[in-house]
Structure 1
């Protein structure tokens, strides 16, 4: 299965949350898509609830099934709370860090900037969206790309103090990944324990 490129509002309405960012249509139609969307009263099974949470996390971070499973395996082998570590690993992906720093307006746009070699990590071009950023790494815009309209538009008026684990330097158009984020600092509305229960079956 390739990466999802279909209608985003449809997916956001399915989960009832703006998982791809602000959505005007979702504000008006906050119910599932389809002709039975408004009348959906059917009770979802425990498995269905867990699966839905996993799908929500995958769509939110733009990760494919195999990548997600590999991250879960890595999280389950690490010391600590598996669900929390899973979210921290997702947050540490380069495309997500580029998005969190405000260099791109969405995670999909961030992934494109990374793939098109506009992003540098510690001064070196990295074009792998899933690259795991480590504490102390400096993520910035390549010198040639600093004048790109998509980047300057995204950075204009962006609140860089939003995320305590990141630090932005406006002069060099780069941000530092200070430390792995604590679960309470990650704003995504994901019940990670349900994902752990799903994979534990």
Structure 2
């Protein structure tokens, strides 16, 4: 699977401060840079929101499109269902539970087979977890996934409706 291997701090500066992608602290230095003011188009705003989701969760365009098609078929709010699908990924739950300090570190823990779900070794970071799933780390630390997190409790600001609008324009 392809993933972004470039400099993460550049992406964080470009898109916004998104905790969970690096252990490094980002300090803004706007004094040296000249500010250029320009009007952002609606398409660019939608594209940036989509890129935030892709980069934060570490997924490809194809996988995000698959999640989007699943969310479009669901009943209820498409944007909230899309966030629910992304938040219930195994690598994200491992990060949110505190076992890993970054999302890439959580992906690595899952890939190497250090996590068991309901007694079975799972080595797929995109594994969709359900409430009441039990996670066991290699050193027998037991965690239970209780509830699905609402978009108010995300670590970064995202407008999921702009992502839905972006994909509705392209499909």
Give the TM-score normalised by structure 1: 0.77
Distance of 1:61 and 1:43 partners within structure 2: 28
* Structure 1 residue 15 corresponds to structure 2 residue 15: yes
1:139 corresponds to which of 135, 150, 169: 135
User: Secondary structure at the residue paired with 1:58?
Assistant: helix
Distance in 2 between residues matched to 1:12 and 1:112, nearest whole Å? 20
Residues 121 and 140, structure 1, Cα contact 8 Å, conserved in 2: yes
* Aligned 1:53-92 pairs, distance under 5 A: 53-92=49-88
Aligned to 2:6: 6
Structure-1 residue corresponding to 2:154 = 186
Contact 1:16 1:30 in 2 (8 A): no
Unmatched segments (≥5 aa) in structure 2: none
**TM value normalised by structure 2:** 0.90
- C-alpha RMSD of matched pairs (Å): 2.0
Q: Does the C-alpha gap of structure 1 residues 15 and 29 become closer, same or farther in structure 2, counting only changes over 3 Å? A: farther
Greater RCO (CA < 8 Å, at least 6 residues apart): 2
Is 1:200 the equivalent of 2:168?
yes
Change (3 A) 1:38 1:62: farther
Q: How many residues are matched?
A: 168
Maintained 8 Å contact 1:119/1:126? yes
Instruction: Please name the residue that 2:48 is paired with.
Output: 52
Q: Deviations over 1:7-46 (max 9, x none)?
A: 111000101313425642x323369xxx9x6433222210
Q: 1:30 to 1:52 in 2, by over 3 A?
A: farther
Structure 1: tracts of 5 or more residues without a match: 147-171
Distance 1:40 1:85, change over 3 A: same
Query: 1-side partners of 2:113 and 2:44: how far apart?
Result: 39
The answer for the alignment partner of 1:115 in structure 2 is 111
SS class of match (2:110): helix
2:17 and 2:156 in contact (8 A); partners too? no
